[in-house]
Amino acid sequence: MKRDYDIIIIGAGPGGIYASYEFIRKNSGKKIAVFDAGSSLSGRHCPIDGVKIKNCVHCPVCSIMCGFGGAGAYSDGKYNITNEFGGTLYEHVGKEKATELMEYVDQVNCENGGEGTKLYVNDNISKKRFLENDLHLLSAKVRHLGTDINQIVLANLFDYLKDHVDFYFRRPVETVDLLEDGGFLVKTEKKDYTCDICIISTGRSGSRWMESLCDHLDIETKSDRVDIGVRVELPAEVFSDLTDILYESKIVYRSKKYQDRVRTFCMNPHGVVVNENSNGIVTVNGHSYEDPQLQTDNTNFALLVSNHFTRPFRYSNQYGESIARLSNMLGGGVLVQRFGDLIRGQRSTEDRIEKGFMRPTLKATPGDLSLVIPKRQLDDIIEMIYALDKICPGTANEDTLLYGVEVKFYNMEVDVDENLETKYKGLYVIGDCSGVTHSLSHASASGVYVARHIMELE
């Protein structure tokens, strides 16, 4: 039976974009469609962006999280080329191949507007002072595009793809069914479409949809992790010795009290703290820009505690959501607290923050994070702040700001083989919705890998 498309890709995030790009660049001759619940890049607008409103208005489809470019479109545009963090793609394709794919993605980004941005390498920095304080600096090469240049790269990629790929924006896929002759039926509210190959790349924002699809198709999954923490904001000078060389330093610490793993995440020198919508819950994140005129005097980064659960508990994301909802309940959104106030056991107030030396870049509700974040995780965070203070004096300053909560939800790990193919021939799961990748670089690389694999089968 003749299909509507050779390949349908569900999700226009990094995985879907780079799979499409590779098919077109290699002249595969495939008829390809990409479906996304969000809008095109030019059509993505948050209604409270630039407006003095701190609370999310809960749009039916979040423009920050969905649309062309996925959740990464409005991120800091950091592509980490490493196998030490960002996912476990290397377990499927091998470390050498995973690195090669990430370097290829970096090359494509540079060809599409990222040229002139800096590639940071941390091999030249001594790790001795980190190890002396039980801190571990992970190795990586980091391409920082910045939120502004990242948008340019995505716009150029879309211009390249739009004449060769059928994009269906604001067209959420309801489900995917198997056809009797081996193809797939992709169901949307308006119309159903058939294809020979289906690539699912719905990202973090599609985690619940992905879970329901796996239940529908009887695909095994595993879900056991969520990261909970805060976003730290402090004067840029405090971390300048690191950020001037590394831009982003990935630092891991094992707490003395509980032996929990705590890590820095998404460091934004001279950046801003922003709201993020995760399944209707307002959490916190950070951005920074390549353009000096958009930069601030502050640096922000997340401190996250990894929480791993064992059977029979399998609702790790819901656990993280419940903590984030507490913050939304108490503050109407994100809470902010001075580190000194947290240590003294008192809530921050607008007056205390106003009298401090730190000027927050996000209008959040002053409050008490100890009423939101569980004691164990909060103890871990405080312990790591003091550890970081030994290598970057000033981290544990009274006026250091902590925004909460920041939650990193991990998609359940979908049962896929070494080619990221499910038990159904022709049905692939890539990017963050697979649970295999957790970063822009790994998600993009997974798209390239699967596209190449499909073309090699012919």
pLDDT of the residue at 258: 95
Burial 139-167 (b: 16+ CB within 10 A, else e): ebbbbbbbbebbbbbbbbbbebbeebbeb
Q: Please, where are the H alpha helices in 200-307?
A: 207-217, 240-246
Query: One digit per residue, pLDDT tens: the chain, 458 residues?
Result: 789 999 999 999 999 999 999 999 999 899 999 999 999 999 998 887 655 455 667 788 888 889 999 989 988 899 999 999 999 999 999 999 999 999 999 999 999 999 999 898 876 678 888 999 999 999 889 999 988 999 999 999 999 999 999 999 999 999 999 999 999 999 999 999 999 999 999 998 888 899 899 999 999 998 768 899 999 999 999 999 999 888 888 999 999 999 999 999 999 999 999 988 776 788 999 988 888 898 999 999 999 998 888 777 777 878 888 999 999 999 888 999 999 999 999 999 999 999 999 999 999 999 999 999 999 999 999 999 999 999 999 999 999 999 999 988 777 899 999 999 999 999 999 999 999 999 999 999 999 999 999 999 98
Q: Where are the domains of the chain?
A: 5-121+142-221+413-456, 225-409
Name the token pair of 294: 């958009």
Single out the residue of 288, 310, 311 nearest to residue 298, CA to CA.
Answer: 288
**Element (DSSP H or E) covering residue 422:** none
In what helix (H) or strand (E) does residue 85 lie, and over which residues does it extend? none
Q: Which residues pair with 233 in a beta bridge?
A: 300, 401
For residue 35, give the nearest of 236, 216, 173 by alpha carbon: 173
- Phi, psi for residue 86 in degrees, rounded to 5: 100, 0
DSSP-based three-state secondary structure for 244:
helix
Calpha distance 453→458 (Å, rounded): 9
Per the structure block, which two tokens stand in for 283? 């959490």
Q: 15, 23, 100, 3: which is closest to 456 by C-alpha?
A: 23
The structure tokens 């656990």 sit at: 319
Give the 3-state DSSP-derived string for 1-35, with helices as H, strands as E and coil as C. CCCCEEEEEECCCHHHHHHHHHHHHCCCCCCEEEE
User: Is the Cβ–Cβ distance between 376 and 345 less than 8 Å?
Assistant: no
**Dihedral pair phi/psi, residue 234, rounded to 5°:** -150, 170
> Is 45 in contact with 151 (CB distance < 8 Å)?
no
Beta carbons of 369 and 389 less than 8 angstroms apart = no
Q: Give the per-residue pLDDT at 224.
A: 67
Please give the pLDDT value at position 140: 86
Please give the pLDDT value at position 50.
Answer: 56
Is the Cβ–Cβ distance between 444 and 215 less than 8 Å?
no
Closest CA to 178 of 209, 206, 217, 210: 217
Q: What is the CA radius of gyration of the chain?
A: 22
CB 375 within 8 A of CB 398: no
Structure tokens that stand for 75 in this block:
């991120």
Per-residue H/E/C for 97-137: HHHHHHHHHHHHHHHHHHCCCCEEECCCCCCHHHHCCCEEE
User: CATH homologous superfamily of domain 5-121+142-221+413-456?
Assistant: FAD/NAD(P)-binding domain (3.50.50.60)
Closest to 33 measured CA to CA, from 147, 192, 225, 145:
192
Structure token digits, residue 263:
């890590």
- What is the C-alpha separation between 138 and 160, in angstroms, rounded? 35
Encoding tokens for residue 69? Answer: 């470019």
Q: What is the pTM of this model?
A: 0.84
Instruction: Tell me what pLDDT residue 422 has.
Output: 98
